[in-house]
Each structure stands twice: as structure tokens, then as C-alpha cells.
């Protein structure tokens, strides 16, 4: 089953929900005209289905291979990466100063979704590179920018993010890698694990952004600095010089994303350059992580779309059972059965809701970057853990439904449904687990500011209420959802016990996600009711929004109860009781 980009829905979300025409009026985005954006979407969709999709399954079967410190990516990846660079895809969202195309994040997001849907393993290399570019753009010295950004934006050099160490995963305060000043640079020593595309054969150079400590640095997160450690040290003219002492000791054997090499990196007095100031590394890394967290959230959307397309195609072809009404003939395609329809609608409606939320957040990122109005950044900060946590958890459920629709064939590798589920499984773990996202949401984004941004956002949702009079079921489910979030925000802000706040953090994140998704589906139903010029699309959108309200949004009050009342049960057993059991 080959991937086809869902261009109709993407265009609908870009234009009707995310406000592409308003984004295009922001300074510097004048090139994002409807014609240009359309041409980009068409080209990206061709690249995704003609170049990346054909090497997705084979890449999974073959995997990347490590030998003597070098990594060979699966057949076709090198050629595809060359085409990625030639197409200028990596340059899309970056400023023209270093060769970027200066297009809005919103447009780049739609392209990113296509690349990830068609080949998630491949897409991780650009994802990490874009995060590194972003960090250098915002925190690097002019000399670093001059030396590295051009090649990275072009794609001939790629970037990585080196945070994790064996003893430092979620808790980066435990990072031990050392950085000792040596003239104009630092000598970096230590071991990093799980480094995505830490070594590979796609680009001529790899630039590692590494978290490390200087000898005098304070303990904990306040003593972490960020360094740029190139695989090859560039000469002043930009050509490649000496090989740095940063090497890949091995790569991991893992559940999914087999084509994406996950490297153990060893640094032995490797030459590194300080990014920004000493001891401020973690805040710089957060810049990279926010971009990466958004992108991983988008992976949830992308895998869901891909899994849905596979399941739909199979459901149209697989013949089993008789029609419930007027049956009696032969076996019918399973898409006729209500329960199969239910699964397909769960997949479709949640995918569309997640896509809409992600694109709306991408548009807010554009507004935050180009205007002084702080409300956009506040909204982005509130929603990053939701996009990351909710879309990835839902992505796994959708990929799992994809296996279910295929029946036994879903469990067999050759249909590809199993690969989507295996690939999706990492998304709730890297870039901060769902638990970590939920604590960020509850602690930093809600409790710390007395729920101000969340309440302002809920105010926006309430404005929809009267407009939804023509869609009573959606109206009621959304109103119940808003009330549920409101009560949870009050509970979180009012609670004096952090354990009680955090015990319900993940259910609260889920609640925020399904209500934010319901918000977008309600807006989608309203836009479709006005008519977009495509009658069949509009009808399907309204029906999908109604389904989402009845099957997904309706869970909001129960989640509210879990958040507010569930803490007692979570902490009920003492550690001794757990151990005794
Ligand atoms: C395929 C893959 C690719 C990766 N790519 C990169 C990369 O490119 N760069 C990089 O630096 N890292 C990368 N990682 C590492 C990844 O980011 C970490 O695995 C992740 O942050 C979780 O850390 P951990 O594995 O040490 O789990 P732990 O931190 O040990 O967590 C174990 C469990 O405990 C929970 N937990 C931990 N602390 C708390 C807490 N304070 N409160 C509540 N619950 C908590 C977690 O939610 C989790 O459920 C990658 C990992 C994998 C598997």
C-alpha cells in the first residue's frame, strides 16, 4: 500500500483552521502565496510517495549497519538524501541570511508531515538537523553561524542532539561528559547513548550538539553547557579538515525505526566549540527540544495518517462476513461492517484532530516569531507538551487499530501495519516521555502561572458555543470538555501537594489533547457547514467531527474525575507494600 499525501485535508487545515493567509501577511513571509504553497505541497507529496515511501519497508527490513565505527544506511537512503538536498527541502523554514527559503513554519509543517508519513526513519535525520540549526541560529556566535549554518541549511552537513548518557536520561542534571577549555576551544570527553543519526553515510559531515560540564561548573542543571563538536573539523575555507575524536562505538538493535541509526558516541578529548555562554546549555537545549518535541508530536500525526491509509485500503479489499442488512449474498468487503467502520472512523477522526491542532500551533509559532504579542508564545508553550504527548500516545493507539483492522495479516510483517506500530512506539519515549511532558504541562505551564494561559485559551473555546447551535452534539461534548479542563486547572492551581498534581498529570494531558482536538474539529465542522466548494469533503468533515464528539471528546468528564479524585489510589500503596507484593 503506497502513501498518498492527504492534500485535501492539509489544504483545508492550512486555509480554514490555521489561517495561512494571515500568516502570509507576516513580515518576511510574502513568498507564501497560495500558488507557491500549492506547488510546494504538490512537489513534497511527489517526493514523499515516489522517493521516500518505496524505501520505507525495505529500510525497516534491512536496517542500518555498523562496522568498524562506520554506519551504512539501507539501500536507497543515500540517493534519497541527495534528492532531499537537491530539492532544497531542508532550507524551507529558515531565514535567507544563510540560504534558507524563509517560508512559514506552518508550510514546513505540512511538508514535514509528508516526509515522516512516508518514511519516519529517514525523516529523523532532517528533524535533528533542523533542531540543531534552530539552536545555533538563536544561541550561536556569529563565527559559528558563519562556519556551519549554510551547509546545515543546505543539508550537506547534518546535526545531532547529544543529551542522553547511561545514567542521565529524563534527568539531565546527571550529565557527566566533561569539557575543558583549551585555547579557543574545549576538549570534550565522555560517552553519550541513543544518539539518533550520530553516525551515518548520508552527509559529508556531522555536527554534534553536546551537553557537557566544565570543571568549575555548579552541580545539577545549572552547570551544563552546550558545545558543537564536528565529526570533521572544517578548514577556514569551509572544506573538510582533520577527523575529530568523536566516534560511534556501536548502534542499537531496537523495536522500530530500524533504518535510523541510534548511536553510542564516544568523545575522547574531542574538539568542541562553546555555543552561547557556559552553564546556560540546558536553556539552549530547550530551544532545540521544543522544536524537536513539536516534530515528534507531528510524528504521531504522520504515523496515524499512514496507518489509516493502509487500514482503509485493506478494509476495501478484504472479503469476510455478510452484509447485516439485505445480506444473504457472498462475503463482503469488511469496510461494510459497523465495527470496522468504527475503527476506521476512530483512526480518521483522531488523525484529523491531531493534524489540525499541530498546524494551528505551527501558525502560532510563526506569529510568535514575527510579532511582539506574547500571547502567541504563551499558547505555543502551553500546547507543545500536548502536541507531543497526546499526538504520540494517540498515534500508537491509531497504529494499533491499523493492525486490528488487518486482522491476522496485521500481525504479519508483510502488510506494513506492524511496522507502523513498531515505529510509533518510540515517539512517546524520546524527546521526553509522556510522563515528563505531562509534568511540564501541569507544573511549568499551568501551576507556575496560576493557569492564566490555559484560562485564556478556554475563553476562546467558549466563544464557539453559540456558533455551534446547528451541531448540538458537538456543542454539548465541547462544553462538557471545556468544563472538565476548567475544573482540572482549578484543582491543579489550588493544590498544595505536588504529588496530587502529578499523579493525574498524564490523564490531564490526555484531557487537554482530546479537548484541544475537539476544539479544532468543532471549528472544522463550522467551516465545512459554510461550504468550502467541495460538497463531499464538507459532508465527510461534519460527520467526522460528529463522530469525534461522540466517541472521543465524550471521555472528557471521566478524565476530569480521574485527575481530581485519582491521586489517592495512585499513591495508596507504600513502597514496602509494592515490594512485598
Ligand atoms: C531510538 C531512540 C532514539 C533516541 N534519540 C536520542 C537523541 O538523538 N539524543 C539524545 O540525547 N537522546 C536520545 N534518546 C534518548 C531518549 O531521549 C531517552 O530514552 C528518554 O529521554 C528517556 O530517558 P531514559 O531512557 O533514561 O528513561 P528514564 O529517564 O530512566 O525513564 C524511565 C521511566 O521513568 C519515568 N520517569 C523518569 N523520571 C521521572 C520523574 N521525575 N517523574 C516521573 N516519571 C519519571 C519516565 O517517564 C519513564 O517512564 C533516544 C532514545 C531512543 C530509544
Residues 6 or more apart whose Cβ sits within 8 Å of residue 221: 172, 173, 282
Give the pLDDT confidence score for residue 327 in this predicted structure: 66
Residues 6 or more apart whose Cβ sits within 8 Å of residue 362: 18, 104, 105, 106, 108, 109, 294
Scan for cell 563538536, then name that residue.
Answer: 229
Specify the ligand 1 atom closest to the Cα of 168: 26
DSSP 217: P
Three-class secondary structure of residue 190 per DSSP: strand
User: How many whole angstroms from 283 Cα to the centroid of ligand 1?
Assistant: 18
Respond yes or no: is residue 431 known to be catalytic.
yes
The two most distant CA atoms of the chain are separated, in Å, by 84
User: How many whole angstroms from 487 Cα to the centroid of ligand 1?
Assistant: 31
Three-class secondary structure of residue 239 per DSSP: coil
Confidence of residue 581 (pLDDT cuts 50, 70, 90): low
286 pLDDT exceeds 90?
no
Residues 6 or more apart whose Cβ sits within 8 Å of residue 159: 128, 129, 130, 131, 132, 133, 152, 206, 207, 208, 209
Q: What is the pLDDT of residues 81-121, one digit of tens each?
A: 999 999 999 999 998 999 999 999 999 999 999 999 999 99
Scan for cell 507502523, then name that residue.
Answer: 420
Q: What percent of the chain has pLDDT over 90?
A: 93
Contact assessment for residue 344 and residue 551, using Cβ atoms and an 8 Å cutoff: no
Which residue intervals of 263-373 are DSSP H helices? 281-317, 338-370
User: How many whole angstroms from 432 Cα to the centroid of ligand 1?
Assistant: 6
Q: What is the pLDDT of residues 206-262, one digit of tens each?
A: 999 999 999 999 999 999 999 999 999 999 999 999 999 999 999 999 999 999 999
520 pLDDT exceeds 70?
yes
What gap in Å lies between CA 489 and CA 508, rounded to an integer? 9
Contact assessment for residue 527 and residue 17, using Cβ atoms and an 8 Å cutoff: yes
Contact assessment for residue 503 and residue 575, using Cβ atoms and an 8 Å cutoff: no
In angstroms, the Cα distances linking 440 to 19, 205, 390 are: 28, 34, 13
Q: What is the pLDDT of residues 368-399, one digit of tens each?
A: 999 989 999 999 999 999 999 999 999 999 99
The 10 Å CB-count burial string (b at 16+, else e) for 487-513 is ebbebbbebeeeebbbbbbbbbbbbbb
Write down the mean pLDDT value for the chain.
Answer: 96
Q: What is the pLDDT of residues 128-147, one digit of tens each?
A: 999 999 999 989 999 999 99
Contact assessment for residue 114 and residue 6, using Cβ atoms and an 8 Å cutoff: no
DSSP 13: I
Specify the ligand 1 atom closest to the Cα of 163: 11
Shortest-distance Cα residue to atom 25 of ligand 1: 169
What gap in Å lies between CA 4 and CA 219, rounded to an integer? 50
- Mean pLDDT for 497-503 is 92
Contact assessment for residue 210 and residue 188, using Cβ atoms and an 8 Å cutoff: yes
Contact assessment for residue 514 and residue 481, using Cβ atoms and an 8 Å cutoff: yes
Considering the candidates 431, 449, 486, 575, report the single residue annotated as catalytic.
Answer: 431
Residue of 129, 164, 261, 263 with the most ligand 1 atoms within 8 Å of its CB, for mutation: 164
Q: Is 293 left (phi over 0), alpha (psi -120 to 50) or beta?
A: alpha
Question: Cα(first)–Cα(last) distance of the chain, in Å?
Answer: 47
What gap in Å lies between CA 179 and CA 160, rounded to an integer? 18
- Mean pLDDT for 460-484 is 98
Q: What percent of the chain has pLDDT over 70?
A: 100
User: How many whole angstroms from 263 Cα to the centroid of ligand 1?
Assistant: 15
Pocket of ligand 1 (CB under 6 A): 161-164, 169-170, 194-196, 254, 262, 426, 429-433, 435-436
Contact assessment for residue 270 and residue 188, using Cβ atoms and an 8 Å cutoff: yes
What gap in Å lies between CA 93 and CA 79, rounded to an integer? 23
Residue of 159, 169, 226 with the most ligand 1 atoms within 8 Å of its CB, for mutation: 169
Contact assessment for residue 378 and residue 365, using Cβ atoms and an 8 Å cutoff: no
Residue of 299, 430, 567 with the most ligand 1 atoms within 8 Å of its CB, for mutation: 430
User: How many whole angstroms from 186 Cα to the centroid of ligand 1?
Assistant: 27
Torsions phi, psi for 384 (to 5 deg): -55, -50
Contact assessment for residue 221 and residue 232, using Cβ atoms and an 8 Å cutoff: no
Q: In degrees to the nearest 10, what's the CA dihedral of 193, 262, 87, 47? A: -150
Which of 47, 41, 43 has its CA nearest to residue 3? Answer: 47
Which of 44, 40, 64, 37 has its CA nearest to residue 124? Answer: 64
Amino acid at each position: 500500500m503506497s502513501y498518498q499525501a492527504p492534500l485535501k485535508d492539509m489544504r483545508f487545515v492550512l486555509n480554514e483552521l490555521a489561517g495561512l493567509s494571515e500568516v502570509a501577511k507576516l513580515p518576511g513571509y510574502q513568498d507564501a502565496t497560495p500558488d507557491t504553497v500549492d506547488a510546494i505541497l504538490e512537489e513534497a507529496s511527489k517526493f514523499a510517495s515516489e522517493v521516500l515511501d518505496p524505501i520505507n519497508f525495505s529500510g525497516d527490513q534491512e536496517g542500518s549497519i555498523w562496522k568498524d565505527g562506520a554506519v551504512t544506511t539501507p539501500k536507497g537512503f543515500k540517493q534519497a538524501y541527495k534528492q532531499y538536498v537537491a530539492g532544497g527541502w531542508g532550507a524551507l523554514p529558515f531565514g535567507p541570511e544563510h540560504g534558507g527559503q524563509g517560508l512559514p513554519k506552518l508550510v514546513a509543517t505540512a511538508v514535514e508531515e509528508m516526509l515522516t508519513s512516508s518514511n519516519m526513519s529517514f525523516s529523523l535525520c532532517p528533524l535533528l538537523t533542523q533542531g540543531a540549526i534552530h539552536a545555533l541560529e538563536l544561541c550561536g556566535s556569529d563565527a559559528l553561524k558563519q562556519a556551519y549554518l549554510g551547509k546545515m541549511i543546505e543539508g550537506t552537513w547534518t546535526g545531532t542532539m547529544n543529551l542522553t548518557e547511561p545514567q542521565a536520561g529524563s534527568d539531565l542534571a546527571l550529565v557527566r561528559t566533561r569539557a575543558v577549555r583549551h585555547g579557543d576551544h574545549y576538549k570534550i570527553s565522555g560517552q553519550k547513548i541513543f544518539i539518533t543519526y550520530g553516525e551515518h553515510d548520508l552527509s559529508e559531515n556531522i555536527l554534534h550538539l553536546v551537553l557537557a560540564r566544565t570543571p568549575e561548573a555548579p552541580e545539577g542543571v545549572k552547570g551544563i553547557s552546550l558545545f558543537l563538536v564536528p565529526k570533521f573539523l572544517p578548514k577556514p575555507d569551509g572544506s573538510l579538515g582533520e577527523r575529530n575524536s568523536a566516534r560511534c562505538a556501536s548502534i542499537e538493535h531496537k523495536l522500530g525505526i530500524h533504518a535510523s541509526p541510534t548511536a553510542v558516541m564516544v568523545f575522547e578529548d574531542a574538539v568542541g566549540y562553546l555555543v552561547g555562554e557556559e552553564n546556560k546549555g540546558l536553556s539552549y537545549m530547550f530551544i532545540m527540544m521544543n522544536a524537536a518535541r513539536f516534530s515528534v508530536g507531528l510524528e504521531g500525526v504522520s504515523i496515524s495518517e499512514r496507518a489509516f491509509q493502509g487500514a482503509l485500503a485493506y478494509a476495501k479489499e478484504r472479503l469476510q462476513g455478510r452484509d447485516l442488512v439485505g445480506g444473504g449474498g457472498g462475503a463482503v468487503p469488511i469496510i461494510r461492517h459497523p465495527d470496522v467502520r468504527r475503527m476506521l472512523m476512530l483512526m480518521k477522526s483522531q488523525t484529523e484532530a491531531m493534524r489540525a491542532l499541530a498546524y494551528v500551533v505551527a501558525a502560532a509559532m510563526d506569529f510568535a516569531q514575527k510579532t511582539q504579542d506574547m500571547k502567541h508564545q504563551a499558547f505555543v508553550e502551553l500546547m507543545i507538551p500536548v502536541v507531543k504527548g497526546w499526538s504520540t500516545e494517540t498515534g500508537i493507539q491509531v497504529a494499533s487499530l491499523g493492525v486490528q483492522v488487518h486482522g491476522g495479516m496485521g500481525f504479519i510483517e508483510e502488510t506494513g501495519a506492524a511496522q507502523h506500530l513498531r515505529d510509533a512506539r518510540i515517539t512517546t519515549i524520546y524527546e521526553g516521555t509522556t510522563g515528563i511532558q505531562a509534568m511540564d504541562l501541569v507544573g511549568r505551564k499551568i501551576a507556575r502561572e496560576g493557569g492564566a494561559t490555559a484560562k485564556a485559551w478556554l475563553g476562546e473555546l467558549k466563544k464557539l458555543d453559540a456558533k455551534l447551535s446547528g451541531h448540538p452534539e458537538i456543542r454539548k461534548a465541547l462544553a462538557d470538555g471545556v468544563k472538565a479542563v476548567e475544573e482540572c486547572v482549578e484543582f491543579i492551581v489550588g493544590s498544595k501537594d505536588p504529588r496530587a498534581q502529578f499523579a493525574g498529570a498524564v490523564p490531564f494531558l490526555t484531557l487537554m489533547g482530546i479537548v484541544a482536538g475537539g476544539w479544532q474539529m468543532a471549528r472544522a465542522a463550522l467551516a465545512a457547514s459554510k461550504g468550502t466548494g467541495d460538497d463531499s469533503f464538507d459532508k465527510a468533515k461534519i460527520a467526522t467531527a460528529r463522530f469525534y464528539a461522540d466517541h472521543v471528546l465524550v471521555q472528557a468528564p471521566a478524565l476530569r474525575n480521574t485527575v481530581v479524585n485519582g491521586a489517592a489510589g495512585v499513591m495508596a500503596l507504600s513502597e514496602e507494600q509494592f515490594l512485598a507484593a
